[in-house]
Amino acid sequence: MNYKLIVSDLDGTLLNEKKFVSDRNKEAIRKAREAGMSFAIASGRPLYPILSLIREWGMEELVDYVLGMNGGSIYDTAKKAEKHFFMLDGGVLKQIMDQYHDLPVRFWIFEREKRYVNKGDEATRAKAARYHEDEEVTDLYALCNQPRQKLIVECHPQDMERVEQRSRELDLPTCAAFRSDPTLFEFVDKRVNKASGLQHLCKEIGITMDEVLAFGDTSNDNEMLKEVGHGVWMCNGTMDTKAHADAETLSNEENGVAWYLHKHIL
């Protein structure tokens, strides 16, 4: 198959554990683009912090498209144009936060580079800054006056099971909920996932999903790896995601994206 678009998740996939893109991965992407393929990033992270990180990584000339918020946002780097899909209603956000009022959790709501939280300190602000996100403590209920792309519940890993159980008790037929990290649990419109975002992008650029090759490692990559022409699982990833992939590659620490591209595509 002649693939026209290569898509990669960031954390646990394209990025190493130091949260940088290795020179080997950059070079493989460069060669793929020279061979006529486009390259896109698909991440659960917000759009604007990803764009800042692309500049920090020196990848401005390597990334053609960015899918942020698990496919809820799409950015065309050449046109500098963005689109957003399927927002959560403010009433839904309030209902979710009410469900966790008695648990030791933090809530996040994003707006461009801002990460709004219900509580935080110097350490959490410093951690957010490493992701190019400006954290601000505020009344999140006041931000529910308009639709938002997602709500994140942050908890200690030992509390994640309770957080997941509470989500199953909610009656929210328009909402999807999933773990994206050992400490993070996300709520989005159920129509939002990386596959639906890619479908929008493919329609925009005139290709089919069969012409897409994608790399991912964990649950929020499942739909994407299943729906594209060829889905590749990182061996450091979760087993539920492996079940949706067509092939596997080395870990993110071993430059698995570059290894697979050189071995099978380039």
Task: Give the pLDDT of residue 8.
Answer: 99
Query: What digits encode the pLDDT tens for the residues 217-247?
Result: 998 899 999 999 999 999 999 999 999 999 9
Task: Give the pLDDT of residue 57.
Answer: 95
- Is 96 a residue whose pLDDT tops 80? yes
Residue spans of the domains in the chain: they are: 5-85+192-265, 90-189
Least confident of 1-10, 114-123, 243-252: 114-123
- Is 98 a residue whose pLDDT tops 80? yes
Nearest to 15, CA basis, from 49, 52, 41: 41
Q: Which residue has the higher pLDDT, 168 or 179?
A: 168
Instruction: Identify the three-state secondary structure at position 68.
Output: strand
Residue 126: which pLDDT band, with cuts at 50, 70 and 90? confident
| CATH of region 90-189 | 3.30.1240.10
Task: Give the pLDDT of residue 127.
Answer: 83
Task: Give the pLDDT of residue 61.
Answer: 96
Which residues make beta-bridge pairs with 38?
5
Asked whether the domain spanning 90-189 has the same topology as the one spanning 5-85+192-265, the reply is: no
Distances (CA, A) of 147 to 53, 88, 196, 237: 26, 5, 19, 32
Question: Per the CATH hierarchy, to which homologous superfamily does domain 5-85+192-265 belong?
Answer: HAD superfamily/HAD-like (3.40.50.1000)
Strongest mean pLDDT among 141-155, 167-181, 249-263: 249-263
Q: Where are the alpha helices (DSSP H) in 194-266?
A: 194-205, 222-227, 239-242, 256-260
Task: Give the pLDDT of residue 131.
Answer: 77
Percent of the chain scored above 70 by pLDDT?
A: 100
- Is 215 a residue whose pLDDT tops 90? yes
Contact (Cβ atoms closer than 8 angstroms) between residue 84 and residue 72 = yes
CA distance 97 to 151: 9
Residue 178: which pLDDT band, with cuts at 50, 70 and 90? confident
CA distance 89 to 226: 28
Question: Which pair of structure tokens corresponds to residue 11?
Answer: 């954390």
Task: Give the pLDDT of residue 172.
Answer: 93
- Is 130 a residue whose pLDDT tops 90? no
Residues 6+ apart with CB under 8 A from 157: 182, 183
Query: What digits encode the pLDDT tens for the residues 31-78?
Result: 999 999 999 999 988 899 999 999 999 999 999 999 999 999 999 999
Q: 208-226 in b/e burial notation, b at 16+ Cβ within 10 A? A: ebebbbbbbbbebbbbbbe
Residues 6+ apart with CB under 8 A from 73: 46, 47, 66, 67, 82, 83, 84, 85, 149, 197
Nearest to 231, CA basis, from 68, 2, 7, 4: 7
Q: Strand pairing of 175-181 and 184-189?
A: antiparallel
- Is 1 a residue whose pLDDT tops 80? no
Mean pLDDT of the chain: 95
> What is the distance of C-alpha 35 from the center of its chain?
26
